[in-house]
Structure 1
Amino acid sequence: MPSTKNIEFQTRDDHILRGPLTLMEKPNAPLGILLSPSGVISAHLMDVQAKVFNDAGFATLTYDPRTFGQSDGLPRHNINFDKQSEDVFDAVTYVTSLAPQIDITRIALLGGGHGGDKQQYVQLFPSPSEEAAANPQKALLGGPALSGFYSSIQMLADGKNCNWENKVTLESAYYNFINEFQAYLPRVSPTPLLCKDIEVKFLQKYVT
């Protein structure tokens, strides 16, 4: 018989998210993380949907979105789709700690409405650690060019009280990647992308 308990996990920005986790009696079960639509908490809808998957042999995790229900976050009832999407990474990190009760190679993200948007976001952008390990070459400047750039700016800062170090956090690298236009270009294909400079003379006729 499946067993359900209320759990909590921590997000990267120190919020606590809470919701029911249902595990199967047998180990190595596939698991579905059910992602709620805007403003919907687990008790509204997701527990009913979770039971459908539980009856089919899936473990499930549902949780209240940040600022809603039993989860932390201020201001209350504030919807931030970017933050809620990032929380899914932390939900995945949490459930991977449940092995061997679940099969961590069979984790599904299941969302409806804006919950579906979150699922697509997470599949589009890997977690920070996975991206850093799998794609160390993804940078605008790399190799000798990058080394020369930092040497140059270090010389400009020498002797100045600027409190600067040549380092950033792993999370900074993650945000840099998901906001870097080169990361999106391969995903545009096969649709052509047109990028065109606007000539000054074209703009002048709109200047009063």
Structure 2
Amino acid sequence: MVRRDIDFDAEGVTLRGWFYTADDSSSPAPTIVMAHGFSAVKEMYLDKYAETFAAAGFNALVFDNRNFGASDGEPRQEIDPWAQVRDYRHAITYATTLAEVDGGRIGVWGSSYSGGHVLVVAAIDRRVKAVVSQVPLVSGHDNFRALVRADFIDGFRALFDADRLSRYEGKEPGMVPVVDKDPLAPSALPTPDSYTWFTKTHDLRASSWRNEVTLRSVELFTEYEPVAYVPYISPTPLLLMPAQNDVLTPTDLAIAAFQKAREPKKLQILPGGHFDAYVDGFDASGPAARDWFLQHLGG
């Protein structure tokens, strides 16, 4: 396996990441395009997935989302889900220009927020020939209400409105922590396991991660509905992998979304909670994704 740094243009914004060349494979090879979830950067275990794919005969193209990590983009720490969807498509286009890539065998992998993105991308971009969506965000409307107490929602709306006025007046965007030790304090991802995983992973392997996003990122999250695109993924093969006890992107929402998908599709329940897929549960999540791509893209 060989990994090299890459950069490519996404409508005037330079995105940066890694390209893993498939092991023991004559070019061109099938290729998996990958990015991380809400505020996360590629060092937060995406290398483990890419290495697993490369060992099975796939190239892997891993990139940081715009405004985060090594990628350019302003305002920093702002998450626009539709811009991230378009950037997956820019990454696919870039991949097809590389000599190592078989442009007819492109897969997309996403997890958490990007698990929602790949559902949308697979539905609207027929260059995608297989998709793996891990612990996905499927409905911003429903997920927001699962995370935020009903009596707190009006307070968030007031913050969103005040931020819109502040931006209109030329001021800097309002910010909110991604996670907080106190799950009742204002944060984008108010669950104890979110705080533990992000802070621990930051300390272990991802120094570029920052514990803040713009308030607008949270507002855009509430408006984002990947589930609307799920029926249109077919005939692209879909593997959906919710976690058994996911309190961040609730398990029941993901399973309900899966029911809207048409064949070919497969549901695989991962052990543990939302973040276990990356570390303790990687032996369940990584090989399952690899095998889905082997089945539908070759290797």
What range describes the TM-score normalised by the shorter chain of this pair?
0.5 to 0.7
How many angstroms apart in 1 are the aligned matches of 2:56 and 2:75?
Answer: 38
Q: Give 1:86 deviation, angstroms.
A: 0.7
| 1:61 alignment counterpart | 61
**Per-residue CA shift, 1:30-86, capped at 9, x if unaligned?**
110112111111111211111111111111010110000000111111111111111
| 1:117 alignment counterpart | 116
Q: Give 1:104 deviation, angstroms.
A: 1.0
Per mean C-alpha deviation after superposition, the further-off stretch among 22-31 and 78-87 is 22-31
How many angstroms apart in 2 are the aligned matches of 1:77 and 1:49?
Answer: 24
**Per-residue CA shift, 1:146-197, capped at 9, x if unaligned?**
xxxxxxxxxxxxxxxxxxxxxxxxxxxxxxxxxxxxxx8x95xxx9xxxxxx
AA at the equivalent of 1:62: V
2:13 equivalent among 3, 9, 15: 15
Q: Percent of aligned positions with the same letter in both sequences?
A: 31
Secondary structure at the counterpart of residue 74 of structure 1: coil
How many angstroms apart in 1 are the aligned matches of 2:35 and 2:104?
Answer: 19
Alignment map for 1:132-171 (pairs within 5 Å): none
AA at the equivalent of 1:47: D
Q: Give 1:3 deviation, angstroms.
A: 1.5
| 1:77 alignment counterpart | 77
Segments of 4+ moved more than 4 angstroms: none
The gaps in structure 1 that reach 5 residues or longer are: 128-183, 192-208
2:86 is aligned with 1:95: no
AA at the equivalent of 1:20: W
CA 54–10 in structure 1, closer or farther in 2 if over 3 Å, else same:
same
Q: Give 1:23 deviation, angstroms.
A: 1.4
AA at the equivalent of 2:57: G
How many angstroms apart in 1 are the aligned matches of 2:27 and 2:43?
Answer: 26
| 2:2 alignment counterpart | 3
| 2:188 alignment counterpart | none
How many angstroms apart in 2 are the aligned matches of 1:7 and 1:45?
Answer: 18
| 1:30 alignment counterpart | 30
Q: Is the 8 A contact 1:35 1:116 kept in 2?
A: no
* Total equivalences in the alignment: 130
Q: Give 1:5 deviation, angstroms.
A: 0.6
Q: Give 1:117 deviation, angstroms.
A: 1.1
Q: Give 1:102 deviation, angstroms.
A: 1.7
How many angstroms apart in 2 are the aligned matches of 1:7 and 1:35?
Answer: 14
How many angstroms apart in 1 are the aligned matches of 2:101 and 2:75?
Answer: 34
AA at the equivalent of 2:28: N
AA at the equivalent of 1:125: I
How many angstroms apart in 2 are the aligned matches of 1:61 and 1:33?
Answer: 5
* CA RMSD between the two structures: 2.2
TM-score (ref. length: structure 1): 0.58
Secondary structure at the counterpart of residue 87 of structure 2: helix
**Per-residue CA shift, 1:12-37, capped at 9, x if unaligned?**
2x100000001135212111011211
Alignment map for 1:189-200 (pairs within 5 Å): none
- Could you say which structure has the larger radius of gyration? 1
The gaps in structure 2 that reach 5 residues or longer are: 127-228, 233-259, 261-299
Secondary structure at the counterpart of residue 69 of structure 1: coil
Q: Is the 8 A contact 1:3 1:23 kept in 2?
A: yes
